[in-house]
Amino acid sequence: ETGVTQTPRHLVMGMTNKKSLKCEQHLGHNAMYWYKQSAKKPLELMFVYNFKEQTENNSVPSRFSPECPNSSHLFLHLHTLQPEDSALYLCASSQTRLAGGKDTQYFGPGTRLTVL
Amino acid sequence: GDSVTQMEGPVTLSEEAFLTINCTYTATGYPSLFWYVQYPGEGLQLLLKATKADDKGSNKGFEATYRKETTSFHLEKGSVQVSDSAVYFCALRTTGPSGGSNYKLTFGKGTLLTVNP
């Protein structure tokens, strides 16, 4: 399998549930990203990982907890979410310029999350 | 800070019509510019890019020229097809003066294009 894959593609959860989103990249990239896409708003960068280390947290609430066990996998753990957290969550990866790449980000298909 | 402004949508065209989606930006440093496309139910796909002034990115009949003097990167296609119906995002990535890489993309809000047969 090639590219960036995300599971599940759709998720419905209650505010008291705990769930996780998974992203896997098969491109050999060193950096991975989580974005949130809400209606009528620009894509919002949430987290950035570079060689498994978190290098960016854009003031994301603690009910979103990322995990990057290796350069190919990225998780977003969700707990006690709010209805306004309903959105499309996109994962991306890139080979950064400092790691010999071109920094172009490649996106997965996203997980459509609905919080009831 | 960095920002990208796209023309408000939605844009509705007939097949074979000419398309222009305007994009302007403000940025520090020396930005690279991108157009991404999002087809219904899918993630973003890189459509084209330009990394320095006067570069022209092109792909699938779409073109955009990096205009530093007007800080613009307008997307054009001479003859659209129904299959081009999607949301189009303009984005920038800045590179610091030292040549180091800033991997953060700043996106516009997106422009929905609908092409009717």
pLDDT in tens, chain B (117 residues): 889 999 888 999 999 999 999 999 999 877 899 999 999 888 899 999 999 999 999 999 999 999 999 999 999 999 999 999 999 999 998 754 444 444 678 899 999 999 999
Say yes or no for a CB contact (<8 Å) between B4 and A45.
no
A35 in Cβ contact with A94 (< 8 Å): no
Amino acid at A7: T
**How far is Cα A43 from Cα A23, in angstroms, rounded to an integer?**
17
- Going by their DSSP bridges, the two strands B3-6 and B23-26 should be labelled as antiparallel
- CB-defined contacts A:B, below 8 A: 53
Q: Which of B41, B46, B89 sits opposite A104 (nearest CB)?
A: B46
DSSP single-letter state for residue A101: S
> Is A103 part of the contact surface with chain B (CB cutoff 8 Å)?
yes
A42 in Cβ contact with B110 (< 8 Å): yes
Amino acid at B64: A
A6 in Cβ contact with A23 (< 8 Å): yes
3-state secondary structure of B83: helix
> Is A99 part of the contact surface with chain B (CB cutoff 8 Å)?
no
